[in-house]
Amino acid sequence: MEYRALKVRRQPEALRIVIDRPGQDNSINGDLIEDLHSALDLAEADPALRLIVLEGSGPVFCSGMDFADAARDATTEGGRTLPTEGGRAFYGLLRRLTTLPRIVVSVVDGRVTGGGVGLVAASDFVYASERSSFALPEALWGLLPCCVTPFLIRRIGFQPAYAMTMSTLPVTAARAAELRLVDELTDHAERTLRRLASRITKIDASVIADGKRYFARMGTSPEELEEVAVAEFARLMSSPAVRDRITGFATERRMPWETVR
């Protein structure tokens, strides 16, 4: 299997997936979403495998939406693609992480922004190093973290998710651990992973599936919010103000508040 945006390797107890678009700050584009689905297919096809570990190459775990791609989309004829399809594709990926019969662990060592926070929030466990940070800057662009929100609220509750969205201020790893966006603050994630693996490998894959399904019925499921999220993302992404800001940044590195309209 050839990956364009990932490095993937099989360990005895886990499939290790490294987001690997260093030239693009590990941002999320169609390639990355497709590659992640392929890697998840691989993990699901292997009945002996219980754990999927998600990492980032370099100092950025994941920087969210690829603005270069988004700007291109918005300027070509087929420019409606990202607003209408991109949200659904990303939401579908996050939903899959929360439902597939494997335990997904994000091991974070670096910056996480925008949609990257969604990957983290949709993970079953999150281990992060001290130097990690988490931010939702979407509102500065005239956007909202539409697809991230249901998964983030599920993980950390309403108020911290709301405060991160509206303030746009980054959250340190230590604060993220207080908010429980991070389950364990550690510079030795391998040790924590081994401790988790020693338990997870003793659990039937069917029980992992049962557990995810059962918890989804406990009234905190993001499933029913999918249409709300996808529609709001499409609406905001179609706004000329948002498109101008994204294009300004992608082509001239202009910050969103410097964009004259």
- Give the binding site for its own copies (CB under 8 A): 103, 124-125, 139-140, 142-144, 146, 149-150, 153-163, 165-169, 179-180, 183, 195-196, 199-200, 202-204, 206-208, 210-211, 214-215, 217-220, 225, 228, 232, 236, 241, 256-257
Q: What is the largest CA-CA distance in the chain?
A: 58
The answer to whether residues 41 and 96 touch, using CB atoms and an 8 Å cutoff, is no
| Cα 238 from Cα 166, distance rounded (Å) | 21
Beta carbon of residue 27, minimum distance to its own copies (angstroms, whole number):
22
Whose Cβ is closer to its own copies: residue 109's or residue 183's? 183
Whose Cβ is closer to its own copies: residue 62's or residue 143's? 143
Whose Cβ is closer to its own copies: residue 5's or residue 230's? 230
Whose Cβ is closer to its own copies: residue 1's or residue 257's? 257
Beta carbon of residue 3, minimum distance to its own copies (angstroms, whole number):
27
Beta carbon of residue 204, minimum distance to its own copies (angstroms, whole number):
6
Whose Cβ is closer to its own copies: residue 180's or residue 191's? 180
Beta carbon of residue 85, minimum distance to its own copies (angstroms, whole number):
20
